[in-house]
Amino acid sequence: MKEYAKRIERLQERLRQQALDGCMITQNVDLYYFTGSMQTGYLFVPSGGEAVFFVRRSVVRAQDESAVAVEPLGSFRAFGQRLAEVFAPLFRQAGSRKLRVAAEFDVLPVQQLQRLEAVLPDVEWADGSTVIRELRMIKSAAELALIRESARVIDLAFQEAFGMLRAGMTELELISGFELFIRRQGHIGLMRMRGYNQEVITGMVGAGEAAAMPSYFDGPAGGQGLSAASPQSASRRVIQSGEPILLDVGCCIDGYVIDQTRTAVIGSLPEDLAQAYDTSERIIRSVEEMLKPGTVCEKLYMHSLLMAHEAGLSDHYMGYGADQVKFLGHGIGLEIDELPVLAKGFSYPLQPGMVVAIEPKFTFPQRGVVGIENSYAITDTGFEKLTVTREGLIKL
């Protein structure tokens, strides 16, 4: 309970700094982060005082789970009046001016915002998404423990996968083996993303040209997928000897994810692909030397670009052609795509408590994708590598 209280206090401090009277939180993951419950409703956090979670359903379960006060939402048409009653001092303090209330504009549907505007006509709405994402960017000891547990489980799954991987099996068979194993270990069955229209199943398993097929997914390797209705990750393609097999598979335990990638081959890789894989490891080793408080995120990405250029692999780095992505890594936690982003224009300095996944990869059209990805926690003096699966090109 103390952890949730600290999160509310940190949010309130940011609200006061930005002259905001409160924050209305509606998205499932954010509700869970601030209350410990993911029931449907509206969490109103005033700039000072107690927050209240107005729940549509299930009120009973929210009352059992939530670290903050829970009240039934009741009629949505009367929500504005309810807020004015529950937070009467805040509304009186505002007087004739409109209350300034933040909301998660990055994930709040327009229709839902319009409904809130209709029942709260005396509120001026502001974008609070950056505030919330920046607060979630710094992980507590409890959060790090859950990410470590996800890392432990996915490592066991990788060892299982290395034992079952063989020429002649399909990508779908391989990822199904991952999914069965980690599900039995407590994986919740999905990896949440915040980005609009972005989805992750369990990750991406792809071999040869199927792994290199471009996709809508905002990553260096999307995968062919099962059909145009699910155009990413594993397909029914048969895995063959002598081709790169990309295993970009995560795990989510109690809401917290680990993200990692390993490259395998049955037999041996062509020399140029093997050299590209070696370059990905050199990049991640070099970036590790820079993982310490104060290093600017943008600098890590630019450094990786220079190394890819010096290796003569710029055209293949983090995708190919128009489908190259413009980042080296990203934050992880309750979602796969958290802050900070290791990309140009992101001036966040690394801070203790940040958790980042770093994924230098090289895409070769019609041939495959090679690379590595580890997740790291930034510490007071450097980093802790959270990913524990053995590294190196896995030769089977």
What are the tokens at 121?
């006509």
CATH number of the domain that residue 68 is part of:
3.40.350.10
Among 375, 141, 133, smallest CA distance to 249 is for 375
Composition of the chain by helix, strand, coil, percent to 5:
35, 25, 40
pLDDT of residue 93 exceeding 90, the answer is: no
If asked whether residues 272 and 322 sit together in one domain, one would say yes
What average pLDDT does the structure give for the chain? 97
Among 300, 348, 360, 298, smallest CA distance to 324 is for 360
Domain boundary (136, 153, 176) is at 136
Pairing of the two strands 99-103 and 123-127? parallel
If asked whether residues 96 and 230 sit together in one domain, one would say no
pLDDT of residue 72 exceeding 80, the answer is: yes
Contact indicator for 174, 233 with CB cutoff of 8 Å: no
- For helices 129-137 and 2-17, the axis angle rounded to 10 degrees is 140
pLDDT of residue 201 exceeding 90, the answer is: no
If asked whether residues 242 and 132 sit together in one domain, one would say no
CB atoms within 10 A of CB 39: 22
The tens digit of pLDDT for each residue in 1-39 reads 799 999 999 999 999 999 999 999 999 999 999 999 999
> What per-residue confidence (pLDDT) applies to 193?
97
pLDDT of residue 95 exceeding 90, the answer is: no
If asked whether residues 25 and 158 sit together in one domain, one would say no
The tens digit of pLDDT for each residue in 284-311 reads 999 999 999 999 999 999 999 999 999 9
If asked whether residues 129 and 144 sit together in one domain, one would say no
Domain tally, the chain:
2
Domain with 361, as residue range(s), is 138-395
Q: Where residue 138 falls among pLDDT bands split at 50, 70, 90?
A: very high
Domain boundary (117, 136, 155) is at 136
- For helices 271-288 and 297-310, the axis angle rounded to 10 degrees is 150
If asked whether residues 121 and 13 sit together in one domain, one would say yes
If asked whether residues 79 and 218 sit together in one domain, one would say no
The tens digit of pLDDT for each residue in 313-352 reads 999 999 999 999 999 999 999 999 999 999 999 999 999 9
Contact indicator for 175, 165 with CB cutoff of 8 Å: no
Q: What type of residue sits at position 66?
A: S
Among 260, 337, 346, smallest CA distance to 295 is for 346
Share of the chain above pLDDT 90, in %: 96
- Cα–Cα dist 120/123, whole Å: 6
If asked whether residues 19 and 165 sit together in one domain, one would say no
| Strands (DSSP E) found in the chain | 22-25, 40-46, 52-57, 69-72, 99-103, 123-127, 203-207, 245-249, 251-253, 256-258, 261-265, 329-331, 338-342, 355-358, 361-364, 368-371, 374-378, 383-385, 394-395
* R_g (Cα) of the chain, nearest Å: 23
Among 282, 288, 285, smallest CA distance to 379 is for 288
The tens digit of pLDDT for each residue in 240-278 reads 999 999 999 999 999 999 999 999 999 999 999 999 999
Among 223, 261, 248, 291, smallest CA distance to 373 is for 261
If asked whether residues 242 and 224 sit together in one domain, one would say yes
Average pLDDT for 185-201: 94
Among 78, 77, 32, 37, smallest CA distance to 57 is for 37
If asked whether residues 56 and 177 sit together in one domain, one would say no
pLDDT of residue 204 exceeding 80, the answer is: yes
If asked whether residues 72 and 144 sit together in one domain, one would say no
If asked whether residues 178 and 285 sit together in one domain, one would say yes
> What per-residue confidence (pLDDT) applies to 200?
87
